[in-house]
Amino acid sequence: MYHALIMAGGTGTRLWPLSRRSRPKQAIPLVGERTMFAAAVERIAPLFPTERIAVVTRQEHVDILAAQAPELPAANFLVEPEGRGTAPAIGLAAIHLHHHDPEAIMAVLTADQHIADTARFCLALAAAAEAAQQGKLVTLGIHPSSPATGYGYIQQGDPLGALGSIGDFPLYRVDRFIEKPDLETATYMVASGDYSWNSGMFIWRVDRILEEFQRYMPQLYAQLAELEAVIDSPDYQPALERIWPQVAKETIDYGVMEKADDITVIPVDIGWSDVGSWASLPELLAADESGNTVIGPHLGVDTRNSLIYGSRSRDGNDKRLIATIGVEDLVIVDTEDALLICPRDREQEVRRVVQLLEEQGDDQWL
């Protein structure tokens, strides 16, 4: 059977002050009225019944996420005692799926990305399942709309035919994974047409990915095997709590994908954005004639090309006004208890603010 795994363990510190420890990025309605997580669940409904949608997340976020997708069975939330990176998270889900369905195919999806064309996304996932069924390790590559330096890239190699109900999803062998490039390299790659962005979405049979763990991450594989042996028994939770702190932190990209020698990429054009930082929002929300992207009450005098993200009026009761005079290329994010102001081209430093708050022990704003 075809299962979806929604990876929902992140925090999204670059979206502070809207994202917080207790309210991670995926629990926020950044684009539209639904939270990122609720949207991630809803967009795959045409392909996956709720009993085949699993979620991996941290203990501290289970409640807030479950509340946003009440249709998901509680048992489908796979809880990590603490985040250890994407490789262990995927491994944990893989053993659960494998335990109940040794021939399961899993689609590893993300909870904190925006996808505009959900219909084409579902078609791509269906096509990818066909390739996975044949034993391929598949990743969705994103058609690059700009020479972004904030994403990893995938170089497409030999074409491997096409799949999908109407045969319109070409497959390529992955030549190599490229870490976040400089602008010159990114520009070259986008112009060449042979590269996709690395989306972090993967489709494979669970037995195949467990084989890869065994080959490239044998320690993790052993830990997972020990856990799988006690799934559904009273020993599981104690074992998890004992083993997990010993699991090495690692990403699936570094731990498996960059080492495995037979990865398939399906480049797709699905209106994807990782909504990774405040700078990415104006691309998703409409700007007004002054180039401003505005949420909430705003009064601007000579204000241009700014993101003014205030409190939304869900109850029609606008409380706070943001007034700006002579402001350009600024990011202003106003929340109930914290306000961020920074130039658009420095918003990557938001992480520094979060880091400073941590160093100072200012937990109330984290």
Neighbours of 207 (CB within 10 A): 15
How large is the greatest C-alpha to C-alpha distance in the chain, in angstroms? 65
Beta-carbon contacts of residue 238 (< 8 Å; ≥ 6 apart): none
**Minimum distance of its own copies from residue 349's CB (angstroms):** 5
Give dist(CA 3, CA 22) in Å, integer. 28
The residue behind tokens 């606008």 is 318
Quick one: 104 or 332, whose CB is closer to its own copies? 332
Residues that bind its own copies (CB under 8 A): 16-17, 299, 301, 310, 319-327, 330, 332, 334, 336-343, 346-347, 349-350, 352-353, 356-357, 362, 365
Query: What is the sign, positive or negative, of the torsion defined by CA atoms of 182, 330, 112, 91?
Result: positive
Cβ pair 28, 19 in contact under 8 A: yes
Burial class (CB in 10 A: 0-12, 13-18, 19+), 146: exposed
**Minimum distance of its own copies from residue 333's CB (angstroms):** 9
Query: What is the sign, positive or negative, of the torsion defined by CA atoms of 88, 90, 96, 102?
Result: negative
**Minimum distance of its own copies from residue 352's CB (angstroms):** 5
Measured between alpha carbons, how far apart are the two ends of the chain, in Å?
Answer: 40
Quick one: 140 or 295, whose CB is closer to its own copies? 295
Quick one: 141 or 276, whose CB is closer to its own copies? 276
The number of residues in the chain equals 366
**Minimum distance of its own copies from residue 320's CB (angstroms):** 5
**Minimum distance of its own copies from residue 10's CB (angstroms):** 21
Give dist(CA 124, CA 119) in Å, integer. 9
**Minimum distance of its own copies from residue 242's CB (angstroms):** 39
Quick one: 247 or 322, whose CB is closer to its own copies? 322
Quick one: 248 or 299, whose CB is closer to its own copies? 299
Give dist(CA 69, CA 43) in Å, integer. 12
Quick one: 161 or 343, whose CB is closer to its own copies? 343
Quick one: 202 or 278, whose CB is closer to its own copies? 278
CA 131 to chain centre: 22
**Minimum distance of its own copies from residue 350's CB (angstroms):** 7
Give dist(CA 172, CA 162) in Å, integer. 9
Cβ pair 6, 41 in contact under 8 A: yes
Quick one: 289 or 336, whose CB is closer to its own copies? 336
Quick one: 33 or 363, whose CB is closer to its own copies? 363
User: What 8-state DSSP symbol labels residue 254?
Assistant: I
**Minimum distance of its own copies from residue 362's CB (angstroms):** 7
Both tokens assigned to 64: 């807030």
Extended beta strands in 116-187, E state: 137-142, 153-163, 169-178
**Minimum distance of its own copies from residue 14's CB (angstroms):** 12
SS3 154: strand
